[in-house]
Structure 1
Amino acid sequence: MKRINNILWGIVLIAISAVLALNAFGITNIEIFFDGWWTLFIIIPSFIGLFNNGDRTASLVGLLIGIFLLLACQNVLDFDLLWKLLVPVIIAVFGVKMILRGIVGNKSSEIMKTMKMNREEVKIAFAAFSGQNINFSYEDFKGAELTAVFGGVKCDLRNAIIEEDAVITASSIFGGIDILVPDGVNVKINSNSLFGGADAKKHQNSKDNRCTIYINCTCIFGGVDVK
C-alpha cells in the first residue's frame, strides 16, 4: 500500500512539474493559482488516503469537504448552502458505515462476543483528564477496552502472551491512545473518526504471523497510534 501512495504522489508531482514546464515555454497557459486552489491541499491527500489500509472514512470526509469548498470558491455552491449541507453529509457517511458494519459484521466483534460468552476477562483502561499506563508483560492477552477523554492511555503488549486472535476497542475523545504491539502479530484497524484518526504505519504485518490483533477505534478530535 505504501508503494501505491508513492506512485500516486509521484504522478501528482510529475503533473505539476509538467504544467510548470509547459507554461514556462509558452506552450500552455494553465493558471495554477485559480480560485480555491488551496483546497487541493485537502483534496489530494484525502484522495490518496482512500487507497490506504487505515482509516478511509476520515479520508472520504476530507475529500467531500475539499470538493465542497472548491465548488464554493468556484461559485458553483453558495457558502451558506455549503455549511448547511456539510454537516448532514458527514453524518450520513458515518451512518452508512455503521449500517454496513452492522450488516456485514467483522471478526473483532465475533471475538469480543465469544469472550463475553465464555466470561473471559477483558481488561479496561480509562483516562479522563489524566494519563494511564497498562502493561501486559507475561500475561495471556485476548482483549482490552481503552478509553481516553482529554487524557492519554498507553497499552504495552510487547511482552504479552498472544496465542490467538485478540481484539482491542479504543475510544479517543480529545485524547490519545498508544498501543505497543510485538513484532510477531498482525494488526488490523477498523476506525470511525471525526477530526482524528488511527495509524499503524510503524508496525509491519507479515503473512507468516499466526495471530492478529483487531483494533476497533472511535476517534473524535483524538488519535490512536499503533507502534
Structure 2
Amino acid sequence: MKRKIFLGSIFIIVGIGLLLQQIGFWDFGQVISTWWPLILIAVGVGNLFADSDSKTLGIILILLGAWFQMRELNIITHSIIRYFWPLLIIAIGISILLPRGSRNLDYKFSGKETTEDLVDNITLFSGVKTRNISKNFRGGSLTAIFGGIDMDLKDANISSGNASLNITVAFGGIDISVPPGWKVVVKGIPIFGGWSNKTNNINYVNLEGPVLTINCFVIFGGVDVKN
C-alpha cells in the first residue's frame, strides 16, 4: 500500500506541475531538468524504510541522486564527473563480492508472511520477498518496475478451485513458487521479455486440482513459476 501511495503521489505531483505550466505559472520543463535527481533520492529513501531484503539499492539510488543533483547545480566540475562511472562499476563489483546477511544457508524463509486471499504488491526500484499462507487464495495483482518480487505460495490453498494473478513487469522480474498439486496456466504479452513455467503440472488438461491462471504483461523482464 505504501508503494502505491508513493507512485500515485509522483503522478499527481507531475500532473500538477504540468497544469501550472499550462497556466503560465512556471516552466515545469526547466524545473524538472534541474531537480530531477531528487526523484532518485526520494525512491532511495523509500527503499530504506520499505520491507525489503536488501537496503543496498536504496543507498545506491540516494548516492546517484546526490551525485547528479550536485552536477546539475554545478557543484561538481567536469573533471570530477569523468571518474564517476569507473567508480560506480568498481562499487558494484565490490557489492557482488561481499557476503550478504540475507542469504540463509539453511534456506529458511526470511521475508514477510501474509494470509491475504487477494494480494496487491507493487515494487518500484526495490525488491520484496513474501510467503502467502492463505487457505482461500484467490489471486490478485503483482507489479514490479525496476525491481523484483519473490512470492512463495507453497503453503497456500485454493479452496474455490481457481485463482487468477495479473502480473506486470517492466525492467524487473517476478518469481512465484507453487505447491506440486497446482495446475498453472501462464499467458499474456511479452515485449523483449518472457516467462517460464517450470511446474510439474504443465500438461494440465486431464488433471484434477486447483488451477492458478497467470496473466502477464512483461516488458524487458521475466516471470518464473516453479514448484
Normalised by the size of structure 1, how large is the TM-score? 0.45
From the two aligned structures, give the one with the greater helix fraction: 1
Normalised by the size of structure 2, how large is the TM-score? 0.45
